[in-house]
Amino acid sequence: MLVIFNLIPISLVIIVTIIVGLRIDWHVFQHVDYALLLTFVCFFLFVSAISHNSYITLWLNQLMQTPQSVYIASLMTSQAISNVPAAILLANFTKYLPALFLGVNIGGLGSIVASLANLLAVKQLLLFSEEQSLWHFLKVFTVLNLIGLLILGVFGWLYLLM
């Protein structure tokens, strides 16, 4: 059973949130981006599913043995499943939390998926820009983010070696 702070069942929180939202302004539910919300939910469901896979847990336990390996794993995992789900997934497999947090924060750069905020920005661009400017933005965004990831990634690595 999912709970918040081991006290409040998540189902209760969801029900109360919906009731309060409906009482305050029921029209707001017409403007929710349910596809994007579902994307976020799927990221976390995916993390939950793979964290219970015995092969993956064995591999992660073996992988996450040094601060440097935790750092690289968190950088790379962030590129595939986003930095917040990566932090949630990997936190259970390491005692090197500073390396993990450094890796997932820097790992928010790079791919469009690396940070959930990037997906929000792209959604806004899809709604309010022309297709040509969107592709131009995505090219520039990707190049700049990869450069930022490389530069900060090296500094993060050097920091961990100190």
pLDDT band for 12, please (50, 70, 90 cuts): confident
Which residues, listed in sequence order, are joined to residue 8 by a DSSP beta bridge? 4
> Has residue 15 been placed in a domain?
no
pLDDT band for 30, please (50, 70, 90 cuts): confident
The residue that leads in pLDDT, 25 or 8, is 25
Q: What is the pLDDT of residues 50-107, one digit of tens each?
A: 888 999 999 999 999 999 999 999 999 999 999 999 999 999 899 999 999 999 999 9
DSSP 64: -
Structural domain for 144, as ranges:
31-161
> Has residue 26 been placed in a domain?
no
pLDDT band for 3, please (50, 70, 90 cuts): low
The answer, yes or no, to whether residue 1 has pLDDT greater than 70, is no
Tokens representing 119 are 């997906």
> Has residue 12 been placed in a domain?
no
- % pLDDT > 90, the chain: 48
> Has residue 150 been placed in a domain?
yes
The answer, yes or no, to whether residue 2 has pLDDT greater than 80, is no
Across the chain, mean pLDDT equals: 88
Check: CB of residue 89 under 8 Å from CB of residue 81. Answer: yes
Check: CB of residue 81 under 8 Å from CB of residue 118. Answer: no
What pLDDT, on a 0 to 100 scale, did the predictor assign at position 4?
65
Q: b/e string for 50-65 if b means 16 or more Cβ within 10 A?
A: ebeeeeeeeebeeebe
- % pLDDT > 70, the chain: 96
> Has residue 18 been placed in a domain?
no
Q: Helix or strand or coil: residue 4?
A: strand
What pLDDT, on a 0 to 100 scale, did the predictor assign at position 106?
97
> Has residue 81 been placed in a domain?
yes
The answer, yes or no, to whether residue 5 has pLDDT greater than 80, is no
pLDDT band for 14, please (50, 70, 90 cuts): confident
Q: How many structural domains does the chain have?
A: 1
> Has residue 152 been placed in a domain?
yes
Count how many residues are written for the chain: 162
> Has residue 59 been placed in a domain?
yes
